[in-house]
């Protein structure tokens, strides 16, 4: 798989994600445990996150030559992992959010992501609406994560959002929810050549 990108697996940093907000400054490839965001400025090092409904967010700072790979399910989004990742990039690399380019990848779509009041309580009302079932709400993870990017200072024109859904386009993307937990994972990857 990595060969098709012109890199080897020996150049990739992976993490066992825990649906939290821990961020790791990565200086070498390998497997890490307990992080949901990886950041680096090392050329030739590629950061990866895996998803099957959660939101992958990739950030590139072309000025300071730094990148981030972020995994944001509802818990990560509620814990503001995107904002914290940009803060970590600023501290480590002097990244300015206004210089960054960001991509919000394919994840579960709002019309398919029905959650309870205990989940939606962690988000501003703008990111949810009433669901079809009593006491349930539809949560928009793409919008919630995009808002964190904008609030941090990334210009709207420098944020790209995938139009695809893991549920609605399940023939092409893995969905943990749609497939009842029996599914694969997609890999989002970013690095500096």
Residue 70 in domain: yes
**Tokens matching residue 173:** 């993307």
Query: What is the pTM for the complete model shown?
Result: 0.96
CA atoms within 13 A on the CB side of 147: 13
Exposed, middle or buried by CB within 10 Å (0-12, 13-18, 19+), for 4?
Answer: exposed
3-state secondary structure of 54: coil
Residue 169 in domain: yes
Task: Tell me the CATH number at 33.
Answer: 3.60.140.10
**Which residue shows structure tokens 């990848």?**
105
Residue span of the structural domain in which 177 resides: 2-108+141-191
Residue 49 in domain: yes
> For 86-127, how does the pLDDT look when each residue is reduced to its tens digit (9 = 90+)?
999 999 999 999 999 999 999 999 999 999 999 999 999 999
Residue 126 in domain: no
Question: % helix / strand / coil in the chain, to the nearest 5?
Answer: 25, 35, 40
> For 62-83, how does the pLDDT look when each residue is reduced to its tens digit (9 = 90+)?
999 999 999 999 999 999 999 9
Residue 68 in domain: yes
Total tally of structural domains belonging to the chain: 1
Residue 158 in domain: yes
> For 164-183, how does the pLDDT look when each residue is reduced to its tens digit (9 = 90+)?
999 999 999 999 999 999 99
Residue 48 in domain: yes
Residue 1 pLDDT greater than 80, yes or no? no
């Amino acid at each position: 798989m990595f060969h098709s990108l012109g890199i080897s697996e020996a150049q990739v940093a992976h993490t066992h994600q825990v649906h939290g907000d821990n961020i790791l400054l990565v200086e070498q490839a390998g497997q890490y445990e307990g992080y949901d965001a990886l950041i680096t400025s090392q050329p030739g090092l590629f950061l990866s996150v895996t998803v099957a409904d959660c939101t992958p967010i990739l950030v590139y700072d072309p000025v300071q030559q730094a990148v981030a790979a972020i995994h944001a399910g509802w818990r990560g989004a509620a814990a503001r992992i995107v904002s914290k990742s940009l803060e970590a990039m600023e501290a480590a690399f002097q990244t300015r959010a206004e210089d960054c380019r960001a991509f919000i990848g394919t994840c579960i779509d709002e019309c398919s992501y029905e959650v309870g009041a205990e989940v939606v309580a962690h988000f501003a009302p703008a990111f949810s609406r009433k669901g079809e079932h009593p006491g349930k709400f539809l949560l928009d993870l793409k919008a919630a994560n995009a808002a964190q990017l904008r609030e941090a200072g990334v210009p709207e024109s420098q944020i790209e959002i995938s139009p695809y859904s893991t549920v609605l386009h399940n023939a092409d993307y893995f969905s943990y929810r749609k497939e009842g937990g029996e599914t694969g994972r997609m890999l989002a990857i970013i690095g500096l050549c």
